[in-house]
């Protein structure tokens, strides 16, 4: 009897053990759904590039928490704080900037240890800046960085000097720990009253001259392991108004030749891997009147289908008044992603409240769950961003390449 009892006990123990192991080995449907949701939200997070306040990375700051929780793919740095009308955003001097970018990358690497797909490789955080030269120069000489030229000045330099200047700017980015530059501007120069002309941000009114000048930068940045971006597609040069301040329509002033620099530059082997959209309305390309950033006709139709661009489409800042004053955040996210945008920028410069990326992720995820945004659209954006990150070398190692070519 005792022997029979022991035999029964052993069998029962084995059955319970098998059941327990099965429960551990095969997650429940709820567990699987939770993992899938987290994975999708992390992929959405990679699409977000955000701005923040501070010269140093505070461990419990909003931006630190966003990095630690894998809610963003990148950051964008500024010198001037629009909200407070003061030069106190992120950049004080070369040493401080390098310390900040190093801290950002170190925190991103540490956060990668806790990602959902632990088999996936670790990729660098995108650390971006608008470093055009001239009026739009976040790494200004006033902070101890080398002097730069405006686009108009640059286009007049002899070829050898222009090439050297582009290499010098690439070196500045490398030594600062910045791996993405939202430049060069390839908008054509119109009359002096236009927004781009007032800031001297255009190389020329002649497409071929714009192409020549922009190519100096794409070559230098590519060799340095820095991703650059052509902007502002499909052309902002004729706009008199400022999309930072409100709605801008270029339908009556835009010319088809404004597409020529994109057609030429994107066909080159050293082309920038990113194209940034404009927030302008252009009814020649979108009869419905959506700003380019939200227009499937312009992004998917013109840029991707007609021009064959397969790289990353980045929005300009989504908090600029041309967008934020005319559309809800939920609508903007749905329209821009469905239009073909891969990288969404929230610079946190104009909005009085810091845009929490977790809230953006939740809005996008809700659209995916409802079917208003296809999961394949998120996947394609994610794959493009990861493909770029694979190519973003450790910028510290690229300084030797630049110096060797000078």
| DSSP 3-state of 230 | strand
Give 305-311's long-range contacts (Cβ < 8 A, gap of 24+). Answer: 307/259, 307/262, 307/263, 307/266, 308/266, 309/262, 309/266, 309/275, 310/384, 311/271, 311/272, 311/273, 311/274, 311/275, 311/384, 311/388
CATH of the domain at 172: 3.20.20.300
Euclidean distance between CA atoms 70 and 109, whole angstroms: 10
Q: How many folded domains does the chain comprise?
A: 2
**pLDDT range class, residue 18, cuts 50, 70, 90:** very low
Tell me the per-residue pLDDT of 229-241, one tens digit each, with 9 for 90 and over. 999 999 999 998 7
| DSSP 3-state of 76 | strand
Q: Are residues 351 and 280 in the same domain?
A: yes
Q: Which helix (H) or strand (E) holds 314?
A: strand 312-317
Mean pLDDT rounded to a whole number for the chain: 89
Q: Are residues 311 and 373 in the same domain?
A: yes
Its pTM stands at 0.88
Contact 230, 183 (CB under 8 A): no
DSSP letter (8 states) at residue 185: B
Beta strands 274-277; 131-133: pairing state:
unpaired
**pLDDT range class, residue 29, cuts 50, 70, 90:** low
Euclidean distance between CA atoms 145 and 137, whole angstroms: 10
Q: Are residues 11 and 138 in the same domain?
A: no
Tell me the per-residue pLDDT of 340-388, one tens digit each, with 9 for 90 and over. 999 999 999 988 888 999 999 999 999 999 999 999 999 999 999 999 9
- DSSP secondary structure string, 130-165? -EEETTEESS-GGGTPPP---HHHHTTS-HHHHHHH
In a domain, 70, yes or no: yes
Q: Are residues 290 and 387 in the same domain?
A: yes
Q: Are residues 98 and 212 in the same domain?
A: yes
Euclidean distance between CA atoms 2 and 192, whole angstroms: 102
Tell me the per-residue pLDDT of 150-183, one tens digit each, with 9 for 90 and over. 999 999 999 999 999 999 999 999 999 999 999 9
Residue numbers of the domain that contains 14: 1-32
DSSP letter (8 states) at residue 259: G
Q: Are residues 7 and 88 in the same domain?
A: no
């Amino acid at each position: 009897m005792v022997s029979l009892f022991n035999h029964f006990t052993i069998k029962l123990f084995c059955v319970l053990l098998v059941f327990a192991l099965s429960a551990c080995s095969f997650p429940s449907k709820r567990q699987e759904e939770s993992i899938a949701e987290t994975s999708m939200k992390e992929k959405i997070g990679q699409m977000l590039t955000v701005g923040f306040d501070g010269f140093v990375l505070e461990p419990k700051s909003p931006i630190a928490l966003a990095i630690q929780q894998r809610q963003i793919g990148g950051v964008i740095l500024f010198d001037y704080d629009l909200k407070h009308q003061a030069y106190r955003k992120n950049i004080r001097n070369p040493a401080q900037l390098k310390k900040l970018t190093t801290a950002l990358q170190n925190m991103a690497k540490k956060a990668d240890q806790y990602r959902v797909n632990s088999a996936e490789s670790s990729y660098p955080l995108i650390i971006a800046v608008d470093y055009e030269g001239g009026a739009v120069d976040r790494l200004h000489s006033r902070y101890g960085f080398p002097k730069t030229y405006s686009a108009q000045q640059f286009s007049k330099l002899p070829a050898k000097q222009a090439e050297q200047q582009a290499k010098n700017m690439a070196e500045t980015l490398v030594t600062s720990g910045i791996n993405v530059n939202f430049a060069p501007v390839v908008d054509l120069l119109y009359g002096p009253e236009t927004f781009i002309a007032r800031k001297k941000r255009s190389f020329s009114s002649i497409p071929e001259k714009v192409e020549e000048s922009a190519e100096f930068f794409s070559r230098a940045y590519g060799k340095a392991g820095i991703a650059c971006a052509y902007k502002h597609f499909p052309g902002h040069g004729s706009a008199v108004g400022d999309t930072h301040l409100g709605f801008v329509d270029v339908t009556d002033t835009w010319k088809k030749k404004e597409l020529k620099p994109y057609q030429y530059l994107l066909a080159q082997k050293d082309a920038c891997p990113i194209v940034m959209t404009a927030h302008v309305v252009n009814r020649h390309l979108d009869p419905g009147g959506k700003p380019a950033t939200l227009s499937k006709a312009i992004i998917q139709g013109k840029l991707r289908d007609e021009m064959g661009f397969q790289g990353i489409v980045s929005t300009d800042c989504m908090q600029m008044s041309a967008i934020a004053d005319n559309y809800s955040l939920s609508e903007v996210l749905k329209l821009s992603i469905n239009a073909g945008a891969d990288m969404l920028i929230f610079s946190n410069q104009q909005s009085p409240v810091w845009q929490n990326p977790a809230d953006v992720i939740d809005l996008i995820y809700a659209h995916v769950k409802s079917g208003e945004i296809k999961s394949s659209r998120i996947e394609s954006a994610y794959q493009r961003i990861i493909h770029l990150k694979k190519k973003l070398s450790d910028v510290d190692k690229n300084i030797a390449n630049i110096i060797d070519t000078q």
